[in-house]
Amino acid sequence: MAITLAVDAMSGDVGVAVTVPSSVRFLRDYPDAKIFLVGDKRVLQKALKKYNLQDKSRLQIFHASQVVGMDELPQVALRNKKDSSMRIAIDLVKENQVQAIISSGNTGALMAMAHFILKMLPNIRRPAIAKLIPRKHGVTCALDLGANIDATPEQLLKFGVMGSELMRATEQIKSPKVGLLNIGTENTKGHEAIQKAHLLMQSSDLNYHGYVEGNDLFSGIVDVVVTDGFTGNVALKTSEGLARMISNILRDELSKTWWRRCCALVSLSALQSFKMRLDARCYNGASLLGLQGIVVKSHGGADEVGFYFALVQAYTEVRDHIIEHIAQHAKKM
């Protein structure tokens, strides 16, 4: 069966200028996929005119008369934007017309609408934002990255379960190693909720490593790093800023003299690989785990490349049955 994705086409900083070309590229690369573009019908038809789609049946337009603003309060959007591109796209998941939604829109509104419409999986009370981030070999799953400012020990345990299932399904890691983010690895470190979560994870059937520190996000010592949404979001934004700084410094240093520019040309292939491994666009697409439906949040400022990879993330989660994996494990908790 074809995998069908709903795209909140009006979302993000520039809307259809990114979502439409990314969707067209995705369809060319994934011949077993379909896309429903949700948004203003006239705007979308105009944006699609420049593309010569071979199979137009694989891309359909669903009209939406409203758009959720990036600074709109979640409760206001939930109450007043029932004909928005975001709401209709989520409804398509609820109605089983599509298997996933991808949006670059307002994170709070997306979380509120998805939670209200799709509901949570049994035994899971709160969703978590999970993202795959690069390390020396492969990727690490970090969660929560902003859905829950605070998290109880029980929620942290369930975040570990959901992150493990994501890595097991999409990265084919048989027994993902889980770490709990803390300010040190000693048993005496951390606040009360962290220490209680540590004990819960030790007694669970997770492949639990123990406490990890911030640098272990990239070390590969664990496959899943669990934390609350406040700490996780700060860690994510810090790492993205550091990666950009390293790339910019490297580019500046290599262009300072003609000799360095010549060396850079000789090393062009290695430099391009280096850039790809640190390019945040290639890891765009955060998953809202724990819902009864696949929801992928793209960065609001993502370009065509970044949004394309968010589509790939959603496709992979559908293909690898991530919802079923999490639901099956959650039943045992």
Q: Three-state SS for 189?
A: coil
Query: What's the pLDDT at 27?
Result: 94
Selected residue with higher pLDDT from 242 and 206: 206
Query: What's the pLDDT at 50?
Result: 86
In tens, the pLDDT along 161-200 reads: 999 999 998 888 999 999 999 998 888 888 889 999 999 9
61: region left, alpha or beta (phi > 0 left; psi from -120 to 50 alpha): beta
Fold adopted by 1-124+290-333: Isopropylmalate Dehydrogenase (3.40.718)
Least confident of 50-59, 68-77, 196-205: 50-59
274: confidence class by pLDDT, cuts 50, 70, 90:
low
Report phi then psi at 267, rounded to 5: -100, 20
243 closest CA partner among 145, 133, 146: 133
226 closest CA partner among 154, 295, 166, 141: 141
The bridge status of strand 128-134 relative to strand 139-143 is antiparallel
55 Cβ contact list (under 8 Å, min separation 6): none
166 Cβ contact list (under 8 Å, min separation 6): 130, 141, 287, 289, 317, 322, 326
Q: Count CB neighbours of 64 within 10 A.
A: 25
pLDDT over 90 (residue 317): yes
pLDDT over 70 (residue 54): no
Structure tokens, 191: 């606040």
pTM above 0.85, yes or no: yes
- Alpha carbons 24 and 59: distance in angstroms, whole number: 8
Element (H, E) at 116: helix 107-118
The listed CATH number (2.170.120.12, 3.30.1360.120, 3.40.50.2000, 3.40.718.10) that belongs to domain 130-282: 3.40.718.10
Q: Three-state SS for 276?
A: helix
- Alpha carbons 306 and 145: distance in angstroms, whole number: 18
Dihedral angle over CA of 206, 309, 47, 28, nearest 10: -110
- Alpha carbons 323 and 81: distance in angstroms, whole number: 27
272: confidence class by pLDDT, cuts 50, 70, 90:
low
In tens, the pLDDT along 110-127 reads: 999 999 999 999 989 889
Q: Where in the chain is the domain with CATH 3.40.718.10?
A: 1-124+290-333, 130-282
Question: For the chain, what is the mean pLDDT?
Answer: 89
In tens, the pLDDT along 224-260 reads: 999 998 998 898 888 878 777 877 787 787 788 877 7
CB 106 within 8 A of CB 13: no
Mean pLDDT of all residues in 31-47: 94
Selected residue with higher pLDDT from 37 and 276: 37
The bridge status of strand 128-134 relative to strand 286-289 is antiparallel
